[in-house]
Amino acid sequence: MLHALLLSLSVLTPPDSAAPKRFSLLPLPLIYYTPETRFSYGVAATATFRFKGDTTRQGSPFQVRPSQVTLGAAYTQNKQLLFYLPFQIFYKNNLYFANGELGYYRYNYYFFGLGQRDVPAELYGVNFPRVRVNVFRRLTKADPARPGRGLYAGLRYQYENYILTSVAAGGALASGNVPGMQIPGGTGSLLSGVGTGLFYDSRDNVFYPSRGMVADLTYLSQGAAVGSQVRFDRYVADVSTYHPLGNRATLALNYVLSVTSGGDAPFNALSLLGGTKRGRGYYEGRFRDENMALLQAEFRLRVWKRLGAVAFGSVGTLGNRSDFMRLNDPKAAYGAGLRFRVNRDLVNIRLDYGRGIPYASLGSSGIYLTIGEAF
């Protein structure tokens, strides 16, 4: 959801501006656009900092990857309200890092059914607090010339109390037959899960890589022992690789596998396709099932000075415990976009248009205006 971060005139700093300070605080106006929200407006404050003791062997604190914490609030054209605090913390010369999100959301979505059972789009309302915390420690030896790169391992925790406030009369959600609607109260689900993970990073740049790879492997278990109303396990592998094609072009590839087992996940916790990250061109959650595999490719071209262009495509498939992946029923999408570099760290404003195949009027195309790459 908060793939859409900050779009502000105040981030349009010259790419060759002065070296960063150890601590900076920026109040920012906020605007972005996605099919799920339409235009969204708000305010945020972002703190970027490095801990005092973090220096490389050469004594420069700016070789350490910067930590960043943002506090923001937004209101959308679809009458949604968002309060959030995403964070990314690097500590002790990148030996430790933590990332995640704290937030509260008053939202509405369209529900299109599960698995092979499509339903007419049903609008439903939901309120939910969300906590996601990942804490990692580096396993490989530090390389001062390549700060933040290497293999990390750590622990993960997620909490979400998903409370439905309205459903479409006579729809699938109202029937109570959708997973997550049969729990006590029948109005959503309380999820609490703990797990582990591995994280590997060899990218040359965090925000706009031209070579290297990043791999994020997750195991998360939901159950009564940690406060969850439902019992299930989730395994996710999310790997991206970056391949230079000359001096001005890059081929970026993203591979995702998400598998659910060990119980019955509620509909809002199933693997899904769509949104600003996974399958642009489909509404977020247009397709949901226990398992999902996705391949995405993006051709990135630096056109002129700060201006860039991309062409992208994706193909995904879904499945469940009886039919692991329905390879005969792929979900494909394609699109193109523009990029505008906003600072010396190669952060881009992203404007994309995506379209699903086969195309349907609702849930199968979208415009995305946000900050940062899809992967």
pLDDT in tens, 247-283: 999 999 999 999 999 888 999 999 999 999 999 999 9
Distance between CA atoms of 113 and 267, rounded to whole angstroms? 9
Q: What is the pLDDT of residues 127-153, one digit of tens each?
A: 999 999 999 999 998 776 676 688 999
- What are the tokens at 225? 């022992």
Q: What is the pLDDT of residues 350-366, one digit of tens each?
A: 999 999 987 665 668 89
Residue ranges per structural domain of the chain: 9-371
Q: What is the pLDDT of residues 84-93, one digit of tens each?
A: 999 989 888 8
State mean pLDDT over 8-22: 49
Distance between CA atoms of 172 and 58, rounded to whole angstroms? 62
Question: 286: closest CA among 369, 371, 357, 337?
Answer: 357
Cβ neighbours of residue 52 closer than 8 Å, sequence gap 6 or more: 22
Q: What is the pLDDT of residues 86-124, one digit of tens each?
A: 998 988 888 898 999 999 999 999 999 999 888 889 999
The pLDDT of residue 8: 43
The pLDDT of residue 63: 65
Distance between CA atoms of 38 and 40, rounded to whole angstroms? 6
pLDDT at 83 over 50: yes
- What are the tokens at 98? 């933590």
CATH class of 9-371: mainly beta
Tell me the pairing of strands 117-138 and 150-166: antiparallel
The pLDDT of residue 3: 43
